A and B are shown apart, each in its own frame.
Chain A
Amino acid sequence: MTPGSTPAACAALLRRDLTLAWRRRGDIAMPVLYAVIVTTLFPFAIGPEPALLARIAGGVVFVIVLLAILLSLDHLFRGDIDDGSMELLMLAPQPLALLVGMKILAHWITSSLPLIVVAPVLASMLKLPPEAMPVLVIALLLSTPLLCLLGAVLVALTAGSKRSGMLLALMLLPLCVPVVIFAAGALAAAQEGLSWVAPIAWLGAGLAMALVLAPLACAAALRIAMDT
């Protein structure tokens, strides 16, 4: 790969973001730890009845994963804007949307992938039947990138303001609702032995759309944020 070409730029940025995340491993562990703690507390709070736990397991895991992603989302562009790296990215020969897409990919790998790995363990702690486990993983594989992409647009939109955390949570809520409904719907259908393809297909369609549109929206929003 010749330096300066589009693949080289994408690889360099991805590598940098992953390296940075690795140097701050503690920050990656935080959402996972949070998910583990909350899931552990659930049976203590509502009582250890296997039937009840199995019924709520799917919903609980999805909501916890969603909140854990929300925790880490705020840092997505903050560091780059504060230290001037964003200017470097904006003036680069490559389209900003593509570079932003790489940053979102790196964020998904560091924030969501560990959660997807521990999610089956969490779900089995809540007595989710083993036959529903593949559906849980598929639903998470489709819904977490979708949430990261939607969240990234909002992070970019609020990047210009100093205290964007609250605003971000408030704005992200309505966007999360359909994702949670489809993901949990697929899992509920699988638990009852029904076909779970339709809700998964909806998630896939949403993801396909967000993959194309969200980086473009992010790039436009970041330009506005830097225009101050």
Chain B
Amino acid sequence: MMTAPHTPALLEARALCFLRQDEPVFGPIDFALHGGEIALVEGDNGSGKTTLMRVLTGMLRPGEGEVLLDGAPFSLDTVAGAVVFLGHHLGLKFDMTPRENLRLAAGLYGLRSGTDENAVLREVGLAGYEDEPVRQLSAGQKKRAALARLLLLPARVWLLDEPYANLDREGIALVNRLLEQHAARGGAALVTSHGAVSFAGGEPRRIRLHA
């Protein structure tokens, strides 16, 4: 019907919308995210940013429309570790240390070549806290421990729900730096935020959700 693009988009949404008890939560929205692209999802509180993220991970079934990964329809069974999701719940075990938490993630998803647990923890600024239980870290440090997971795993698509929450100025710069590196490696990322965000590298793509 149409000529295929040279490379299919890493993550693509077509007429995606989500209904909760027949009430539309968001959509329909269309976007295509190619390798090296970062998009910012904007919307007020309650406009469905988190819901969109959960639909894109495959955990929520979209009401209508479809999500494509590498040009193929995807579900939880076919995602195969290509997507990593960081939500409000950080997925950290508080009784374990950042290093142990990373070890589980690496065991499940595999390691990005050329990284290891110590290197990524140093990179997110947790050097010296590797073996402290996560419970004893501050909220910002917990967030950093979760961000370290993004660096460690080979996933190509990052879905970050409010990654800037709880972070200081330096932490925000860190998130921006991680996103830039990820884009430079050919990965794609979708970032939600309800506030004004200053990306270091100029103006990002914006996807607006209306309440």
- A interface residues, Cβ below 8 angstroms from B: 2-5, 8-9, 11-13, 15-16, 19-20, 23-24, 79, 82-85, 87-96, 99, 223, 226-227
Contacts and interface: CB of A to CB of B under 8 A. Distances in A.
Size class of the contact patch on chain B: 20 to 34
Contact of A88 (B60, B61, B79, B91): B91
B108 A93 contact: yes
Closest 7 CB pairs of A and B: A4-B110, A12-B107, A84-B89, A93-B81, A84-B91, A92-B108, A93-B80
Interface of B: 57-61, 76-77, 79-81, 83-85, 87-96, 100, 103-111, 154
Contact of B103 (A12, A85, A95): A12
A137 B57 CA distance: 45
A83 B90 contact: yes
B106 to A, nearest CB: 5
Contacts of B87: 84, 87
A54 B83 CA distance: 59
15 contacts: A2-B110, A3-B107, A4-B154, A8-B107, A12-B107, A13-B104, A13-B108, A79-B93, A83-B93, A87-B59, A88-B91, A91-B58, A91-B59, A93-B79, A227-B59
Chain A at the B interface: mostly helix, strand, loop or mixed?
Answer: helix
Contacts, number: 100
B42 to A, nearest CB: 23
Contacts of B57: 87, 90-91
A5 B107 CA distance: 7
Contact of B109 (A4, A15, A20, A223): A4
A85 B93 CA distance: 8
Nearest to A22: B95
Contacts of B59: 87, 90-91, 223, 226-227
Given A83-B91, A87-B87, A92-B109, A227 B60 contact: yes
Contact of B96 (A20, A90, A96, A99): A20
Contact of A23 (B91, B95, B105): B95
A9 B108 CA distance: 4
Contacts of A93: 79-81, 108-110
B197 to A, nearest CB: 22
